[in-house]
Protein backbone atom coordinates (compact mmCIF):
# COMPACT_ATOMS: atom_id res chain seq x y z
CA UNK A 1 0.00 0.00 0.00
CA UNK A 2 1.52 3.37 -1.00
CA UNK A 3 2.25 5.78 1.84
CA UNK A 4 1.73 9.54 1.72
CA UNK A 5 4.78 10.00 3.95
CA UNK A 6 8.36 10.27 2.75
CA UNK A 7 10.59 7.72 4.49
CA UNK A 8 12.85 8.95 7.28
CA UNK A 9 16.33 9.63 5.99
CA UNK A 10 15.34 11.13 2.63
CA UNK A 11 17.61 14.11 2.11
CA UNK A 12 16.50 16.30 -0.79
CA UNK A 13 15.06 19.67 -1.59
CA UNK A 14 14.79 22.54 -4.06
CA UNK A 15 16.57 25.85 -3.53
CA UNK A 16 15.35 28.81 -5.56
CA UNK A 17 17.35 32.03 -5.82
CA UNK A 18 15.74 34.99 -7.54
CA UNK A 19 16.24 38.64 -8.33
CA UNK A 20 13.15 40.77 -8.89
CA UNK A 21 13.37 44.28 -10.35
CA UNK A 22 11.19 47.19 -11.50
CA UNK A 23 9.19 47.23 -8.24
CA UNK A 24 7.58 50.29 -6.65
CA UNK A 25 10.07 51.49 -4.01
CA UNK A 26 7.33 52.12 -1.42
CA UNK A 27 6.41 48.41 -1.41
CA UNK A 28 10.03 47.44 -0.78
CA UNK A 29 10.23 49.65 2.30
CA UNK A 30 6.94 48.50 3.86
CA UNK A 31 7.85 45.92 6.52
CA UNK A 32 4.25 45.02 7.37
CA UNK A 33 3.32 44.46 3.71
CA UNK A 34 6.45 42.39 3.05
CA UNK A 35 5.96 40.17 6.13
CA UNK A 36 2.35 39.35 5.28
CA UNK A 37 2.98 39.01 1.54
CA UNK A 38 5.89 36.60 2.03
CA UNK A 39 3.90 34.50 4.52
CA UNK A 40 0.84 34.40 2.26
CA UNK A 41 2.73 33.49 -0.91
CA UNK A 42 4.61 30.72 0.89
CA UNK A 43 1.37 29.31 2.30
CA UNK A 44 -0.27 29.49 -1.12
CA UNK A 45 2.70 27.54 -2.54
CA UNK A 46 2.14 24.71 -0.05
CA UNK A 47 4.71 25.62 2.61
CA UNK A 48 4.06 25.58 6.36
CA UNK A 49 5.10 28.94 7.82
CA UNK A 50 6.31 28.57 11.42
CA UNK A 51 7.53 32.11 12.08
CA UNK A 52 8.29 35.34 10.23
CA UNK A 53 10.74 37.98 11.44
CA UNK A 54 11.87 41.21 9.83
CA UNK A 55 14.37 44.01 10.21
CA UNK A 56 13.97 47.47 8.70
CA UNK A 57 17.17 49.31 7.80
CA UNK A 58 17.80 53.06 7.91
CA UNK A 59 17.36 54.98 5.77
CA UNK A 60 15.57 52.25 3.78
CA UNK A 61 15.32 48.53 3.02
CA UNK A 62 13.89 45.51 4.75
CA UNK A 63 15.00 41.91 5.28
CA UNK A 64 12.27 39.37 6.01
CA UNK A 65 13.01 35.79 7.08
CA UNK A 66 10.43 33.01 7.20
CA UNK A 67 11.14 29.80 9.06
CA UNK A 68 9.26 26.97 7.36
CA UNK A 69 8.54 23.43 8.46
CA UNK A 70 10.15 22.59 5.09
CA UNK A 71 13.18 24.92 5.64
CA UNK A 72 13.33 28.71 5.05
CA UNK A 73 12.68 31.73 2.83
CA UNK A 74 14.01 35.29 2.78
CA UNK A 75 13.72 38.59 0.96
CA UNK A 76 16.20 41.45 1.09
CA UNK A 77 15.00 44.70 -0.48
CA UNK A 78 16.70 47.61 -2.19
CA UNK A 79 13.98 50.28 -2.50
CA UNK A 80 16.44 52.81 -3.89
CA UNK A 81 16.74 50.72 -7.08
CA UNK A 82 13.36 48.92 -6.99
CA UNK A 83 14.90 45.47 -6.53
CA UNK A 84 14.82 42.49 -4.16
CA UNK A 85 16.81 39.30 -3.64
CA UNK A 86 14.67 36.23 -2.85
CA UNK A 87 15.80 32.87 -1.42
CA UNK A 88 13.37 29.95 -0.91
CA UNK A 89 14.55 26.48 0.12
CA UNK A 90 12.11 23.65 0.74
CA UNK A 91 12.70 20.00 1.53
CA UNK A 92 10.30 17.31 0.38
CA UNK A 93 7.64 17.51 -2.29
CA UNK A 94 4.75 19.33 -0.57
CA UNK A 95 5.87 22.93 -1.05
CA UNK A 96 6.76 24.46 -4.43
CA UNK A 97 9.47 27.12 -4.01
CA UNK A 98 9.29 28.18 -7.67
CA UNK A 99 5.58 28.87 -7.28
CA UNK A 100 6.31 30.85 -4.11
CA UNK A 101 8.72 33.11 -6.02
CA UNK A 102 6.24 33.52 -8.90
CA UNK A 103 3.44 34.43 -6.48
CA UNK A 104 5.72 36.89 -4.68
CA UNK A 105 6.73 38.47 -8.00
CA UNK A 106 3.05 38.87 -8.90
CA UNK A 107 2.24 40.42 -5.51
CA UNK A 108 5.09 42.91 -5.92
CA UNK A 109 4.10 43.75 -9.50
CA UNK A 110 7.63 43.19 -10.76
CA UNK A 111 8.59 43.82 -14.35
CA UNK A 112 11.62 41.54 -14.22
CA UNK A 113 12.24 38.10 -12.68
CA UNK A 114 15.51 36.18 -12.82
CA UNK A 115 15.16 32.78 -11.11
CA UNK A 116 17.50 29.80 -10.71
CA UNK A 117 16.55 26.45 -9.16
CA UNK A 118 19.04 24.07 -7.58
CA UNK A 119 18.23 20.49 -6.60
CA UNK A 120 19.96 19.65 -3.34
CA UNK A 121 20.64 16.43 -1.48
CA UNK A 122 19.80 12.94 -2.69
CA UNK A 123 16.58 11.92 -4.38
CA UNK A 124 14.85 8.86 -2.86
CA UNK A 125 15.46 5.56 -4.65
CA UNK A 126 12.59 4.30 -6.79
CA UNK A 127 10.57 1.46 -5.29
CA UNK A 128 11.97 -1.92 -6.23
CA UNK A 129 15.40 -0.65 -7.30
Catalytically annotated residues: 71, 76, 91
Q: Is the alpha carbon torsion for 14, 122, 72, 36 positive or negative?
A: positive
98 φ, ψ (degrees, to nearest 5): -65, -40
The verdict on whether omega for the bond into residue 59 sits within 30 degrees of 0, i.e. cis, is yes
For residues 54 and 126, give the distance between their C-alpha atoms in angstroms, rounded to a whole number: 40
Amino acid sequence: MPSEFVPVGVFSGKHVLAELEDIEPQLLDDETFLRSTLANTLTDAGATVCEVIAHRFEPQGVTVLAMLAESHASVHTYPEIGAVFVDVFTCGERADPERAVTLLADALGTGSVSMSTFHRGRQPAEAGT
